[in-house]
Amino acid sequence: MDFIKAVTHTVGHVVGEMMEAIDSRNQISVHLSRYAFVGGDVIQGTVHLHCIVPFQARGVILKVKGFELATWEEWRTREKPGNPQERESYIHTVKEHKEFFCERIRVYPYEGLVQQGQYDFPFSYQLPASLPGTFSEHGGHWEHGTGYKAEIVYFAKAKIDVKFKHDLKKKVQFVVNEKFDRTVQPSYGENNKTFLLTKGRLTAKVWLDRNAYFPGNTVVARLEANNTSTKPTTKLNVAVIKHLELHADGHHKTIRDEIYRQHYPGFDPCFFGIRWLPYQIPLTIQPSTTTSKHVVCHYYFRVECDIPGAIDLQVDLPIAVLAPQWLFSSVPAPPPNATLPPDVSFRPPWQPDSQATQCGKCGNGFSLFKRRHHCRHCGKIFCSGCTTKQTKIVHLGYIEEPVRVCDECHPAAHEGGKLFETAPALPSAPPAPEEYGAPPPV
């Protein structure tokens, strides 16, 4: 008898829930005032409910969620089945998919019977300021051991609060861009190198007008190069490098991609001066994200001095890529037109060997035993007998050790030398943008 009562009670309970089930003809949707935000922004929107068949409910809920996905393939080895003495390679997939953020908002808290009609439930919610930015990238070749996927996504999901599972719910995806809370200021970097078989040193200093940019911005880098060696630089390369880090299941993977490259003419041996290198941040680039636990994306700007017969000299400057402006405006902002200042050379042009068949002072011809020598002050070619003096030339950047000068230039060189042409004073620290003709802020 007790068993029959228990079964009757259970059946009655199930039938009661079925009577309270939400008819599939009912509809719910969620609309946001906009679909792109920065961490700390306030999300405003409305949950719309169209009730055709009345039902019992305990209210209307909106859930704001964030998910992270980091997965990739990598080659590993293991013992070969049936033969432990041998090992075989196989493709292992590392994956971690987690909900890292969830906020439950009860936009309609009342319980009871929902009658036929149209209902609107407005809501407002402030996002945490520390949220990572939306990100999505797929790359490599899956099933070949090189595939990877990185995602950070956000959803707003509206549903009816009932005791049982139902299908009356709707979600909409939106974009969160990481808040840039650092000071926007000029960026500076430098590097130098020496050579095995050539005296002297190449030093490169690079300034950017700021450390954060929008996709599509035109950027002008200022390069100050001081080459005290006779090694030429055949060309200059400007590149934007993406550094993507994935973390999953206690493992990590790093992917570096060059997303932009531009070539510029190099400079002669013993060049000392300023070059202006314009380049554009690609419009398709994704914003930086640095606060995620599983997906981290950095960018840095690189200037390369291509030197024949030697390792290239590189200068790297970290930069942040901010949320695209078109996410906040119906019309994309055009790249600014940067007016480039003229390039500057503090030393006279380096006279090519092919232009000198005899000494510039005594007139003696050059041969296998009578070599050419350049004066570091005037850049012209003389024989060894007419370039016997050496001195440091402070104003021309020869400050580490004495260099060869011709007899005529020695008095001026010994006093510090004369600049080849009038030029602005060299900065000892990164200058403000307006000091060196950088493009105006966007």
Fold match flag (2-77+86-177 vs 353-414): no
Q: What are phi and psi of 14, to 5 degrees?
A: -65, -40
CA pair distance 257, 243, nearest whole angstrom: 7
Please tell me the predicted confidence (pLDDT) of residue 436: 32
Amino acid of residue 195: F
pLDDT of residue 433: 35
CA distance 308 to 302: 19
Query: Tell me, what's the pLDDT at 325?
Result: 54
Q: Can you list the positions of beta strands (E) in 161-310?
A: 169-177, 187-194, 201-208, 212-213, 218-227, 233-248, 251-267, 272-280, 295-306
Beta bridge partners of 311: none
Q: State the pTM of this model.
A: 0.78
Q: What is the pLDDT of residues 51-106, one digit of tens each?
A: 999 989 999 999 999 999 999 999 999 988 888 888 999 999 999 999 999 999 99
pLDDT in tens, 148-178: 999 999 999 999 998 777 778 999 999 998 8
Q: What is the pLDDT of residue 419?
A: 84
Other beta carbons within 10 angstroms of residue 22's beta carbon come to: 21
Report CA torsion sign: 354, 360, 364, 367. Answer: negative
Q: Does domain 2-77+86-177 have CATH number 2.60.40.640?
A: yes
Q: 353-414 in CATH: which number?
A: 3.30.40.10
CA distance 404 to 223: 26
Tokens 């480039």 found at: 340
User: Residue ranges per domain, the chain?
Assistant: 2-77+86-177, 187-346, 353-414
What DSSP state is assigned to residue 410?
H
Q: Which residues of the chain have pLDDT under 70?
A: 1-21, 324-338, 421-442
Q: Is 354 helix (H, G, I), strand (E, B) or coil?
A: helix
Query: Which pLDDT score is estimated for 18?
Result: 42
Per-residue pLDDT, 421: 65
User: 159, 153, 39, 148: which is closest to 107 by C-alpha?
Assistant: 159
User: Is residue 110 within 8 Å of residue 59, measured between CB atoms?
Assistant: yes
Q: For residue 417, is it left (φ>0), alpha (ψ between -120 and 50) or beta?
A: left
Please tell me the predicted confidence (pLDDT) of residue 338: 54
pLDDT computed for residue 64 by the predictor? 97
Q: What pLDDT is stored for residue 337 in this prediction?
A: 56
For the structural domain made of 187-346, what CATH number should be given?
A: 2.60.40.640
